Each structure stands twice: as structure tokens, then as C-alpha cells.
Chains A and B, each alone.
Chain A
Amino acid sequence: MCAKKVTQKPEDVPTTGHIWDGIEELDNPMPRWWVWVFYATIVWGIGYSIAYPAWPMITKATPGLLGASTRADVVAEIKRFDDANATIKQALVDADLTTVSANPDLMSFAQNAGAAVFRTNCTTCHGSGANGIEGKGYPSLLDDDWLWGGDVENIYATIAHGIRNTTHPDARWSQMPAFGADEILERPQVAEVVEYVLQMSGQDHDATLAAAGEAVYLDNCAACHMEDGSGDVTQGAPNLADAIWLYGGSRDAVTYSVVNARFGVMPGWNDKLPEDEIRAVALYVHSRGGGQ
């Protein structure tokens, strides 16, 4: 714009007296409506602090005349969702677990609810991805290897009652003898049976010791772990011939298991969670890739 044509300072507008680089700060009055809006915000602010919780006191803030409370809002909101879900929760409780996957609505609800239950209660041991901790005795729930059975009803029973806990009478129960510590087997026999187990699972092993270990295995181990090492889900005896090891598959780890035995415990949940949530999380776990 041509400098000559720019509007000059109107004669009757006062200045604040501030000048920077020849630019004067005018002291124009504000529009009246702006001032009204400003006063209105003050009135609104006072009214708001009376109507709603505002002023901090010693233990809590002033409650406000309208009785608004965000905590109560949350409680009401949760109740609203609970009420809205009451029908479908009851449907889940009444349903036959094996047929839920044929009902898309119910399955979708179970998946979402189960994921939430899992995140809250199960991730501490089984991990947020449900993959457990390899070699530490927290089983992965994503693979096709199940200690106590991988069909949805067995998963449900395991979650409801737990494993080897003393609080649930129906908890899964079994105990492996500590073959070394209790001196059931001699040290050389332990070494032999370890080599045999390594051979069964297709790992590097000493063939001579393994051949000697077969007899030890059949006498002491096959009752639970079966002659071919495939384990027994009715007593939680793990499969020794596959690629998955709950406590590690190395020579040292297997030796430790034979000598001292393992005793993995899982709490039962039917005294902590409602029936619909146990069913939901059972369906969720069953659909993580390993369900049978």
C-alpha cells in the first residue's frame, strides 16, 4: 500500500505516549459491546462459583448449589453401562460356552469384556500380550500347548478354580516328585533321564546316556508324561516332546526340574469375579490363537 494513502492518525484519538521506531500506540476506546461481554463474564464467573464446586476449603471444595459432582457422574455412568449390559451378561451366563462363537453379538461382547478383564487381572503373570514369561513358569496362552486342556470349558474351569491353590477345593491339583532332592533317583540316573528327555524333544543330547535313560523314564515318568512324552492334560503333566518349555528346555533347566520338581500356582477367580466376567475372559483366552 502506498504510504501516502494510509489513514493517518485521527486527530482526536489520544496516544499512550509510547513510541517504538516512530510507531505510536493509540489509546482507542474499546467497543462498548466488548466491555459488556467482559462484565458478563465476571457475573457468569461469580454465578458459576456459587452453582458449582469452586472454592477450595480445608478438606474439600465448596459443593455448589446444584450439587454437581464428577465422581457421582462417573458412578452414574458406570451404572448406566451396567444396566445396558445386564441382558447380554445374563445371556452370556446362560449360554453354552462351546456355542458362543456362533453368536456374533454375544461373541463380540465376550471378546471386549474379556479383554478388559484380562488386562485388569491376568497381565501381571501372563503379560499384556498373553504370551507369559518363557522359562519362568508363566505359560503363554497364545500357543497350542495347554497344561490343563485348551478347549473353552477346560480354560473356564482353570480360571474359575485355579491351579494348586489351597483356597479353592476344586482347584487343579497334581504334584511332581522331586526325584533328586527326595533321593528317588541316583545322580547318574537323573543325568540319564535328562538326556532321554532332550532326545525326545529333538535337542542335542548324549546318545549313550539317553539310551540308558529310557528305562529310568519308563519306570518313573511315563505314568504322568506318557511313554511318548506327550504329557497328560488331566493331571497337568506337560508335553516333554514338543518345542515349548514352561521352565526352559536347556539341559540345566530340565535337570533342575527333575531334581527339585516344579509347583506352579494360579489363583482361582470365581470368588473374585462375577460369572459373566469369568466366562468372557475364558472366551477371550480361547480366541488368542491356541484354543482347541
Chain B
Amino acid sequence: MSSPDATEPPSLYAAREPIFPRRVYGRFRSLKWWLMGLMLGIYYITPWIRWDRGPNMPDQAVLLDLAHRRFFFFMIEIWPHEFYFVAGLLVMAGLGLFLFTSAAGRVWCGYACPQTVWTDLFILVERWVEGDRNARIRLHRQKWNGEKVRKRAVKWTSWFLIAMATGGAWVFYFTDAPTLLGNLLTGQAGAVAYLTILILTATTFAFGGFAREQICIYACPWPRIQAAMMDEDTLTIAYRDWRGEPRGSLHKGKIPEGQGDCIDCMACVNVCPMGIDIRDGQQLACITCGLCIDACNDTMDKIGRPRDLIGYMALTDETAERGGDAPISVWKHVFRPRTMLYTVLWAGIGAGLIVALFLRSPIDVNVTPVRNPTFVTLSDGTIRNAYDVRLRNKQGADAVFTISVPFDSGMRAELEGLSGLSVTVNANETLSQRVYLNAPRGSQPASEDRTQVRMWFEELGTTNRVHHDTVFNGKDE
């Protein structure tokens, strides 16, 4: 960075400062390894889980079948008109992030975000190929020679293979995985599949290998939104400067008189994947991954000082600790009106979705009254209203639907192009059928402006029965 100079303007751009995170051992690092394995496992294995749904139905447990407009999730099948389930899940995801952020800060960023998980994986590969921090810095600085070319080639190839597997796994969610794999290998898959793999391979390779922390700092809106959700009870990672300062190096293996616990070993900075110094305080770039806690605890153990010079704490903890008050239980941070409210909202929407899921009928209808014109006069003076009806058969076998209106409504139903009142809807299909309601001349519905009417739809030979309330327009004379 240039220094401020009245005569010389600052440079227009700054190069990225490369970051070489050091290997670290400890509680949070182990937790992150487990979570990484879990999440990568879920991502790669899910499309290959099979689930028997009977003949003519996909046997993939999780499938977003865009071509046929169906979403399968184990025993659940969602049709396009039930998209409110997806909307509900998105609302729940939003509220869940609110809840976790207000209670535990940026846990999503530190442990679960794909950018964090894949960057972690890429750094792991980097360490296997090129060695730990010091070896990597040396390699970075040295001139290009056979060793550097070989190591870089191996590293980039490994990254590329991981990136391709990532992009490759994504497309399996959208069509039958074994079939698609065969088609991909023999070059018969659709252009969309190859293009998606290409784009996701490129983004994974660039984001995980090179952009890394810059995605979090420059591209992601979440760090900025999260700042508005944190309060004084939110857990963040903090450095106990009242315990650590003034910092200074060890003298003959001991901390000199009048010096704090921080021996300025830079372990917390060296392990940080974001390249920041947590001792400067909470900052936008901190994803609260906890690796600096592990690094500092390791140092504290070695010099025989108490752990947690760097630790998870809320602002209220800090105030209490500085004032010499009793420490606040972590449960007090987590259970407070704000988090309770988020939990209640989250659980309420979840419960609503589950109830809605079990109340779904295997048959379903939409009735759209034809409004152009609102009614037709037949030659004998009968008033006729037309309705465009969409009949959905969400079952694995063909179904016969019978359409009727109550006998005392004074109307009679009639189907366009069919002689009876029954129509066959094929398995897992939607059928559009025009339905007419006829009210004889002089009858009440025929002479009144609007009459409420309930249309009934029954599946022949079953107890499936749904209704739809609609309106009959009469000739208001």
C-alpha cells in the first residue's frame, strides 16, 4: 500500500496479499474436519440414493425433475402448484440463518458455507502437495524451476479434478444419476449438462483455489447483512486484550514482569484462512471459524498460561469480565426473547408445512370460471356458464374423475366433448377439461346476478373427493 502523500495520488489498485494458512490442531479444527466430511458426503452421495416409487416413476430419492416439473424428496412428491412448500422452506432457511446469526454469530460462514468448505478442501490438497505454511511461502517466492512446475501442476490438476467432481455431482440432482453418468461418459448427455458442469467446474476452481477469502470480503452480501443481526449477546471470536496486553516476546522462556499473556507468536494470524489479525478486534473479514482459538490455546499450553486468550464470547461477557463480574452462562446468550421469537416462527412455519404435507389429497383441481362471456343463453333460454377445470391425478394409476354439483343448486353439469360426467385422467398427469353448468330458464340461478356453487370432484371407486367453490353468473333481468 502506498503511503499518504500530498503530491502523489494513491495507487489505483492493490494486488491480493497471498495467504498461507498454517496447519493447526485442536477442538475447532477437528469439528471442522467432521463437518466438512459430513457435508461433502451429503452433497456427493445424495443423488445416488434410490427410492422405490413403483412403475413408471423415478427411483431417485432426491430429484429435481425440471423436464416433467416434479420435485421428489424421498416419500414426498411436489407438483408445480405446490411451490409454496419451496417458498416455505426458503422462509425457514432465512429465519434459521437469523436464529443462528443472532445466537452464535457467523457459524454459517465459519463451518457450513460451501465457499468455506471447498476452500478448506483446496487448502488441504495444497498442503499435501506443497507442504505447510513455510514450505509454501518458500515455493511462492522461489523462481520457476522443475520442482515448482511439478508441484503446481499436481496441485492444479487435483483442484481441477475436485472442481469437476463438484460440478459433475450437481447435475445428478436434476435427472436420473446412473443414466446421466453413462450418457456423460459416452458423450450422449445434453448440452445443458456439459455446460453446467463446465461453468461449475470453472467457478469451483477459481473460487476455491484463487479467489478464496475475496469472495467473502468483496462478493458475498451475507457478512454485511449479518452485521445488522448481531447484538451484544451474539457469540463472536474475541481476543482478551485486558489479559494479553501489553504483548511482547518471551524472555528466557518466561513472560517478563508487567507484560500480558500474548507473546506475539503470530500463531493466530498464521492459521487464519482470511489472513486477518483477530487481536485487532471483530471485523468484517472474520468468518468465526475458530482456528485462531485452537492455535492460541496450543501456545498457551506450551508456555503454561491459562487457555482461551482468544475465545468465543459475547460483548456482555467482555463487559462482565472487564468489570470483574460473574461470568454469564452460554445458555443466557442463546435463550433470550429474540432467539425464542425466531425459533417459534421457524418451528411454526415448519409445523404448518408438515400439516399441509399430510393434508394433501392425491387428487387436486383448479376451477377457472370463463369470464368471456360470463354466461351464454341457449335456444331454450337455459343459462350456461363455462369453467376451465384442471384435474390433477397425483397417483401411479389412471383415475376416473366424476364431476357434479349439488342437486338442490338448480344447475346441471355437462362436460365438453363427453356424453357423461366422468373423465379419465392418466397416472401422474394433469388434464384440462371444460365443464358447463346449465340453469333452466326462470330458475333462481338463471335469473340472479351471482350464485355461489360448490363443484364436487370424486375419484371413482375410492374415497378421494375434493370440492371447489365458484360462482354462477345468471342473466340479471
Contact = CB atoms under 8 A, between A and B. Distances in A.
Interface of A: 1-2, 5-7, 10, 12-15, 27-35, 101, 127-129, 131, 140, 142-145, 239, 242-244, 287, 289
22 contacts: A1-B281, A5-B238, A5-B282, A7-B281, A7-B283, A12-B1, A12-B2, A14-B10, A15-B4, A28-B14, A29-B1, A29-B13, A30-B12, A33-B211, A34-B13, A127-B372, A129-B370, A143-B384, A144-B378, A239-B379, A243-B378, A289-B416
Count class of interface residues, chain B = 35 or more
Given A29-B11, A145-B379, A242-B379, 8 more contacts: A6-B281, A31-B14, A32-B13, A32-B15, A127-B373, A140-B376, A143-B378, A243-B377
Nearest to B372: A129
A3 to B, nearest CB: 10
Contacts of A10: 1
B441 interface: yes
Contacts of B2: 12, 14, 29
A129 B369 CA distance: 13
Contacts of B238: 5
Contacts of A27: 10
B329 interface: no
Contacts of B319: 2
A143 B16 contact: no
Given A31-B14, A34-B13, A143 B315 contact: no
A287 B434 CA distance: 10
Given A27-B10, A101-B417, A1 B372 contact: no
Contacts of A239: 379
Contacts of A131: 372-373, 376
B13 A31 contact: yes
Contacts of B11: 29
A131 B3 CA distance: 80
B277 to A, nearest CB: 9
B196 to A, nearest CB: 23
B469 interface: no
A287 B417 contact: yes
Contacts of B476: none
B94 to A, nearest CB: 23
Contacts of B12: 29-30, 35
B325 interface: no
A6, A30, A140, A243 — most chain B CB neighbours (10 Å): A243
Contacts of B218: 31, 34
A287 B241 CA distance: 83
Consensus secondary structure, chain B interface: loop
Contacts of A1: 230, 281-282, 315
A129 B473 CA distance: 16
B214 A33 contact: yes
Given A7-B283, A13-B1, A34-B218, A29 B10 contact: yes
A143 B386 CA distance: 11
A129 B3 CA distance: 75
Interface of B: 1-5, 10-16, 211, 214, 218, 230, 238, 241, 280-283, 315, 318-319, 370, 372-373, 376-381, 384, 386, 416-417, 434, 436, 441
A142 to B, nearest CB: 4
Contacts of A289: 376, 384, 386, 416, 434, 436
Consensus secondary structure, chain A interface: loop
B449 to A, nearest CB: 18
A241 to B, nearest CB: 9
Contacts of A2: 281, 315, 318-319
Given A5-B282, A34-B13, A287-B417, A14 B4 contact: yes
Contacts of B281: 1-2, 5-7
Contacts of A5: 238, 241, 281-282
A10 B373 CA distance: 73
A28, A101, A129, A289 — most chain B CB neighbours (10 Å): A289
Q: Which 9 A-B pairs have the closest CB atoms?
A: A129-B372, A5-B281, A242-B379, A14-B4, A243-B381, A29-B14, A131-B373, A35-B13, A145-B379
Contacts of B379: 143-145, 239, 242-244
A242 B372 CA distance: 23
Contact of B380 (A12, A30, A242): A242
B227 to A, nearest CB: 8
Nearest to A245: B377
A257 B405 CA distance: 41
B416 A287 contact: yes
Nearest to B283: A7
Contacts of A15: 4
A138 to B, nearest CB: 13
Contacts of A127: 372-373
Nearest to A141: B376
Contacts of B283: 7
A7 B373 CA distance: 69
A106 to B, nearest CB: 13
Contact of B373 (A30, A142, A145): A142
A30 B11 CA distance: 9
A243 B441 contact: yes
A33 B214 CA distance: 10
Nearest to B436: A289
Nearest to B386: A289
Nearest to B218: A31
Contacts of B372: 127-129, 131
A7 B211 CA distance: 24
Contacts of B380: 242-243
B435 to A, nearest CB: 11
Contacts of A7: 280-281, 283
Contacts of A242: 379-381
Nearest to B14: A29
B319, B370, B376, B441 — most chain A CB neighbours (10 Å): B376
A284 to B, nearest CB: 12
Nearest to A146: B379
A239 B380 CA distance: 11
Contacts of A287: 416-417
A29, A127, A140 — most chain B CB neighbours (10 Å): A29
B282 to A, nearest CB: 5
